Amino acid sequence: MILGTTATARADTELLTATIEAAVRRLDPADGRPERVDRDGPFDRDLWGLLAGEVGVCALAVPEDRGGLGASFQDVAAVLTLLGAELSRVPCLSAVLATGALADCPATPATDEYLAGITAGTLIVTTVVPVPSGDTQFQVERVGGDLVLSGTESFVVDGDIADVVLVPAAGADCSVGLYAVSADTLTRTRMTVTDGTRVMSTITADRVPAVLLDPHPSIRRLQDRALVALACDGLGVATRTLDDAVAYANGRVQFGRVIGGFQAVKHRLAEVAVAVELAKSAVAHAVWAVDEGTDHDLSEAAAIAAIACGEAACRATAENVQVHGGIGFTWEHTAHLFYRRALSNDVLWGSGDQHAQRLYQLAVDGPTRVSPDAVSSPTAAPTSLPHSNTAAW
């Protein structure tokens, strides 16, 4: 769990996460979760209504001068980590990304309206996160006095349950701006994906009305914050599955001994514990970079956190299945849900190799602005830097 550094901050964060944890476990307990996921799909509307409307999780990341609580990213990270550990089917990740993007935009009636809706929990806003190269699949043009947007993108988180979609799009001069599009003007198709606990969609815009929010957004910062938020989710997955595996290993008896006493099991879980501790350190550094670091600090920290948490979550969830033995492979157990979330997170906004290449380029260039296209250059870095052992599973 990522907590504040002072005693008061830690106490406040612990109270916040305890409140959210109690709400989640009351409405979506682990027992029977696979059945509910299979029956109800990847969006728990009742839980979201409670967390967003009553607990106010969406207001955390909204700046105080824009009507929110103005919490630090440490608190936001703690919530994301907890929701990852609980595999909560709510669009909190989308809310965090949208809030950060909107807060960076110039204050306008449109941005204030969207932030107010997010704060109140009445508006679901998602963001199209560009591919690692920074290229956008959307174009915008002016028709008369209006802006219209066209393009298509897949793997948009919460795309078909959102009310508003934030879209980076290229204009006639090839510069990329950030635009808001009403979701009901888009063609949205829910995708069938590995992770059954998160909404993934393909969205298509065919000359739909768009509102310009920022003519010169920092696409790199948008991508980096997305990676940090996703790393927090992955850390929650890794931590919870390690705890589950250890608890099971300490209670399951075979040949007259608990299986946790067998060297093979003990060593495998020790390796997972090391990976999880590294992921915790990486996320703590990335959270600091969001609040206090430079853009270069954030880019480095985001890449490191993405690699570390991808490795930790994939390893922890795979070992959790193995330690649980026969029951771990069944549909009724939650182990496969965590495993599938880890696999999805590991490639959602770039693979481990792409993050490693980005990190390499940042190290070579130093604390200067690096073109997003650098990661796609064949000379940017070695072609493969292994970061996960999931192929063995």
What digits encode the pLDDT tens for the residues 153-170? 999 999 999 999 999 999
The pLDDT, as a whole number, for residue 5 is 53
Q: What are phi and psi of 332, to 5 degrees?
A: -75, -20
Backbone angles phi, psi at 336, to 5 degrees: -70, -30
CA distances to 46, 246, 338 from 265, rounded to whole Å, are 39, 9, 20
Lowest mean pLDDT among 105-109, 179-183, 198-202, 369-373: 369-373
Q: Could you tell me the pTM of the whole model?
A: 0.89
> What share of the chain in percent tops pLDDT 70?
91
The yes-or-no verdict on residue 371 having pLDDT over 60 is: no
Contact status, residue 231 vs residue 282, Cβ threshold 8 Å: yes
Pair 340, 194: CB distance under 8 Å: yes
Q: How confident is the model at residue 8 (pLDDT cuts 50, 70, 90)?
A: low
What confidence tier does 392 reach under pLDDT thresholds 50, 70, 90? very low
Model pLDDT for residues 118-155, shown as the tens digit of each residue: 999 999 999 999 887 767 889 999 998 899 999 999 99
- Name the burial class of residue 70, with classes exposed (0-12), middle (13-18) and buried (19+) by CB atoms within 10 angstroms of its CB: middle
Asked if pLDDT for residue 385 goes beyond 70, the answer is no
CB 57 within 8 A of CB 119: no
For residue 198, what are the CA distances in angstroms to 42, 122, 229, 371, 376?
5, 20, 15, 31, 28
The angle formed by the CA atoms of residues 247, 253 and 259, to the nearest 5 degrees, is 60
Is 179 a residue whose pLDDT tops 80? yes
Position 329 scores a pLDDT of: 85
Q: How many helices (H) and strands (E) does the chain have?
A: 11, 10
Q: Tell me the pLDDT tens digit for each residue of 83-101.
A: 999 999 999 999 999 999 9
| Confidence grade of residue 381 (pLDDT, cut at 50, 70, 90) | very low
Position 154 scores a pLDDT of 95
Mean pLDDT value of segment 48-55? 91
- Asked whether residue 377 carries a pLDDT value surpassing 80, the answer given is no
Distance CA 40, CA 32 (A): 12
Query: Out of 193-202, 263-272, 366-375, which region has the weakest mean confidence (pLDDT)?
Result: 366-375
Domains, the chain:
7-123 (1.10.540.10), 126-214 (2.40.110.10), 219-392 (1.20.140.10)
Q: How do beta strands 164-170 and 125-127 pair?
A: parallel
Residues above pLDDT 90, as percent of the chain = 69
pLDDT at 337 over 50: yes
